[in-house]
């Protein structure tokens, strides 16, 4: 019985806790919301105040030639790479920094050290092995200063160097001679190897299937750090949550694997005649002209030696991709391979491909992968800017989903809407950050959030809305979007609680762009500005300011209040109707309506009026009403009594408190009613809780010691409601007692 009473008490106290979102005293400060001086930096030669790259914008580049070999038994990857690095900056460079991302999987890495006891998606997921790079050789080739040299003689002979230091996931290479500014070049040759983790921070790994292992290789080669006009060298360590910031260049990749393997890689295949059978080449040519998926290697061929072209033990696959920031690849003997044509707006063609094991081969799963890939790429190409790579490849693996230029890894177990969602999301990343190359290590929202936003539009369109979702009730969603303990969106991902990453990097920035598009700017104006941002910063390195300034300059709108509230801070939104009165007490003369901004986030206001006869109309107010006001009063022209007045009738704004959004004549009457008859302390024999009824600002308020006040809505005839918690209070005629109904449970209270 004691346990039952404790549970009942918890239910009642929970109701009062829910009221915590209600604060009937406005905390809004319009000077804080709209204050001047949002932008701290003036324009420079590299970045204009309009959001464009400046007239002297520069960025360095890195071209890679890599030979790599896979030992599928030992899970060992051995590689030799030559990086041609170009210094386009105005600075001499005395040293270079490299990313050694595989070092995350060393036992003594910083990333491993910060994994909590409860576990994490980052790291090797508890696998007991000591990963990371074994760097066996580093050589440098400086520029040959003689004039009129061929490409082959542009560099002096390579010289072995030992003057490099490895710090966790970074390597610093000191130079004996600096690289000259504005076009100086250097070649770096690095030999390395590592053992692949089975699960590599949900970005790479090895999947065991009944027909052999699937190797998904990413962050697999030493990569140049970015040197830019913002921070100089960007050397934040790789801890797992933060992603990547990379220079653009050309990649030539030679991948040596067992001959029974199929390999897919970023870019275009250079030697199909050496790695495919004649029949497979013919089928690939057919697929390149087909809008329907063509099977290149079917399930019945997986263990057929005649499905591979070579009698040798090993075979080398050659790929090339240009103007890319990264490259990834996959290799397996277990792959089914299919493909279809991608139609691009310019008339150019690309090809969609999928590789997956027989375990994933069904029409509710990966047999539709190429259809999904093709639709996704075509949508984004038509909507924003054209897909730049010769192929788009979806690979089944043990990753939830991870993106790279021209290739993505997705969970082999996904089906139907879930497979569409992850495929569409990962290929959406081609636009953010593969084309628009933001700094993911610092600004996760600029790739994940922007991508999640374009995914919503893509899903609405796919196959006439096959997976289209109904519009969210943003009032209900607000408790997630604006939860108290969440960091601001602008927080670097390594500084966020892992539980908040999905909210702050993906969903909240996406919903912010939807709000801008649908409620603030309108679809046409927003899309024009967003496309311009993509155009300006394709294959470049934008910052948040570049995005903010572009949207403002193209649309002509002051949006600092929105950036401050949604991205820089975690401000809440609460719009309230505080009073409705008829002019001179006569409904035919119109109504005087007062609204109030209760929390710190301002937004435009939409109010729906329903008259006694049932006719409806809407009144829109711009965000500027809040520039110097906490409250706003306006006249609504009506010629009959009002039945209801409601703020945000379609629930499109993330309003944290719906209870103050509606006015009815009953509520109006309650405001005029003498509520003193309900005042007093009430106790119950059923539960040890004392509820004190008081009146504040013509409202009845329920008070429990130690709990937030509960502001009740008068429903007439002695009934009061708290709709957020499905609570009803019905007073007796004498007002000496009441029955409280909470989610179907009834408790009796009597006045002390």
Residue 495 burial (CB count, 10 A): 11
User: How close are the terminal C-alpha atoms of the chain, in Å?
Assistant: 24
Cβ-Cβ contacts under 8 Å for 48 (sequence gap 6 or more): 54, 55, 549
Task: Tell me if 45 sits within 8 A of 543, measured CB to CB.
Answer: no
Predicted pLDDT at 152:
66
Q: DSSP state, 637?
A: -
Residue 464 burial (CB count, 10 A): 6
CA distance 681 to 695: 13
CA distance 226 to 244: 10
CA distance 556 to 308: 59
Cβ-Cβ contacts under 8 Å for 712 (sequence gap 6 or more): 699, 700, 701, 702, 720, 721, 722, 729
**Helix and strand element counts for the chain (H, E):** 15, 41
Which residue stretches of the chain have pLDDT < 70?
Answer: 1-24, 147-152, 668-673, 697-698, 715, 723-724
> How far, rounded to the nearest angstrom, does the alpha carbon of residue 164 sit from its chain's CA centroid?
36
SS3 label, residue 517: helix
Four-CA torsion 237, 238, 242, 248, nearest 10 degrees: 90
CA distance 401 to 134: 28
Q: What is the pLDDT of residues 176-214, one digit of tens each?
A: 999 999 999 999 999 999 999 999 999 999 999 999 999
Q: Which segments of 559-661 are extended strands (E)?
A: 575-582, 591-597, 605-611, 616-621, 631-636, 642-647
Which residues is 713 bridged to in the sheet? 721
Q: What is the pLDDT of residues 606-616, one digit of tens each?
A: 999 999 999 99
CA distance 248 to 85: 10
Predicted pLDDT at 370:
98
**Nearest CA among 665, 593, 673 for reference residue 632:** 593
CA distance 365 to 617: 47
Would you list the DSSP string of 111-146?
A: HHHT--TT--SSSSTT-----S-EEEEEEEEEBP-S
Four-CA torsion 12, 18, 23, 27, nearest 10 degrees: 150
Cβ-Cβ contacts under 8 Å for 121 (sequence gap 6 or more): 201, 202, 240, 400, 498
Residue 483 burial (CB count, 10 A): 14
Q: What is the pLDDT of residues 11-25, one digit of tens each?
A: 555 555 444 444 468
CA distance 513 to 510: 5
Predicted pLDDT at 347:
96
Predicted pLDDT at 310:
78
């Amino acid at each position: 019985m004691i346990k039952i009473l404790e549970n009942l008490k918890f239910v009642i106290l929970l109701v009062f806790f829910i009221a915590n979102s209600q604060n009937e005293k406005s905390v809004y400060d319009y000077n804080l919301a709209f204050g001047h001086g949002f932008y701290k930096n003036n324009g420079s030669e590299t970045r204009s105040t309009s959001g464009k790259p400046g007239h002297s914008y520069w960025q360095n580049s890195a071209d890679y030639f890599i030979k790599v070999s896979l030992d599928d038994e030992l899970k060992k990857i051995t590689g030799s790479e030559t990086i041609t690095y170009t210094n386009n900056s105005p600075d001499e460079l005395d040293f270079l920094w490299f990313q050694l991302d595989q070092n995350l999987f060393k036992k003594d890495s910083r990333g491993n050290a910060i994994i909590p006891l409860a576990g994490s998606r980052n790291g090797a997921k508890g696998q007991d092995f000591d990963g990371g790079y074994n760097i066996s050789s580093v050589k440098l080739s400086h520029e040959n200063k003689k004039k009129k040299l061929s490409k082959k003689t542009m560099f002096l002979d390579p010289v072995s160097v030992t003057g490099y230091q490895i710090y966790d996931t970074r390597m610093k290479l000191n130079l004996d001679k600096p690289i000259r500014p504005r076009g100086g070049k250097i070649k770096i040759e690095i030999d390395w190897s590592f053992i692949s983790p089975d699960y590599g921070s949900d970005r790479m790994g090895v999947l065991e299937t009944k027909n052999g292992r699937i190797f998904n290789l990413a962050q697999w080669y030493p990569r140049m750090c970015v040197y830019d006009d913002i921070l100089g060298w960007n050397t934040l360590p790789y801890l797992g949550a933060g992603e990547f910031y990379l220079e653009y260049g050309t990649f030539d990749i030679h991948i040596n694997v067992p001959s029974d393997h199929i390999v897919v890689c970023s870019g275009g295949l250079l030697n199909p005649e050496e790695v495919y059978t004649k029949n497979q080449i013919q089928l690939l040519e057919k697929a390149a002209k087909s809008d329907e998926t063509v099977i290149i290697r079917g399930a019945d061929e997986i263990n057929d030696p005649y499905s591979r072209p070579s009698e040798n033990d090993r075979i080398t696959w050659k790929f090339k991709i240009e103007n890319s920031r990264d490259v990834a690849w996959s290799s397996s003997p277990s792959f089914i391979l299919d493909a279809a044509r991608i139609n691009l707006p310019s008339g150019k063609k690309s090809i969609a491909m999928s590789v997956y094991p027989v375990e994933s081969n069904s029409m509710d799963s990966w047999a539709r992968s190429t259809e999904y890939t093709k639709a996704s790429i075509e949508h984004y190409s038509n909507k924003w800017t054209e897909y730049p790579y010769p192929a788009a490849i979806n690979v089944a693996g043990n990753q939830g989903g991870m993106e790279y230029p021209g290739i993505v890894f997705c969970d082999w177990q996904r089906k139907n809407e879930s497979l569409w969602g992850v495929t569409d999301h990962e290929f959406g990343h081609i636009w953010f950050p593969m084309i628009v190359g933001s700094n993911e290590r610092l600004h996760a929202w600029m790739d994940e959030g922007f991508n999640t936003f374009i995914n919503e539009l893509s899903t609405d369109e796919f196959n006439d809305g096959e997976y289209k979702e109904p519009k969210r009730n943003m009032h209900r969603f607000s408790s997630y979007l604006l939860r108290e303990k969440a960091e601001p969106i602008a927080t670097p991902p390594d500084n966020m609680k892992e539980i908040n990453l999905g909210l702050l990097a993906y969903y909240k920035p996406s919903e912010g762009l939807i709000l801008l598009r649908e409620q603030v700017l309108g679809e046409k104006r927003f899309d024009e500005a967003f496309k311009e941002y993509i155009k300006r910063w394709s294959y470049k390195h934008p910052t948040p300011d570049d995005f903010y300034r572009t949207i403002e300059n193209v649309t002509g709108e002051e949006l600092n209040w929105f950036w401050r509230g949604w991205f820089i801070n975690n401000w809440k939104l609460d719009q309230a109707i505080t009073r409705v009165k008829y002019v001179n007490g006569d409904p035919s003369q119109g109504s005087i309506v007062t609204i109030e901004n209760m929390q710190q986030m301002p937004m435009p206001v939409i109010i729906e009026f329903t008259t006694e006869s049932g006719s409806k109309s809407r009144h829109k107010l711009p965000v500027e009403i809040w520039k110097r006001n906490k409250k706003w009063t306006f006249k609504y022209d009506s010629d009959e009594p009002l039945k209801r007045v409601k703020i945000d009738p379609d629930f499109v704004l993330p309003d944290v408190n719906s209870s103050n959004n509606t006015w009815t004549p009953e509520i109006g009457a309650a405001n005029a009613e003498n509520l003193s008859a309900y005042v007093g302390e009430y106790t119950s024999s059923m539960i040890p809780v004392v509820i004190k009824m008081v009146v504040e600002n013509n409202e009845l308020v329920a008070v429990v010691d130690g709990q937030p006040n509960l502001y009740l809505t008068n429903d007439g005839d002695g009934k009061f409601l708290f709709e957020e918690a499905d609570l009803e209070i019905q007073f007796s005629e004498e007002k000496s007692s009441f029955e409280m109904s909470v989610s179907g449970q009834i408790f009796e209270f009597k006045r002390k």
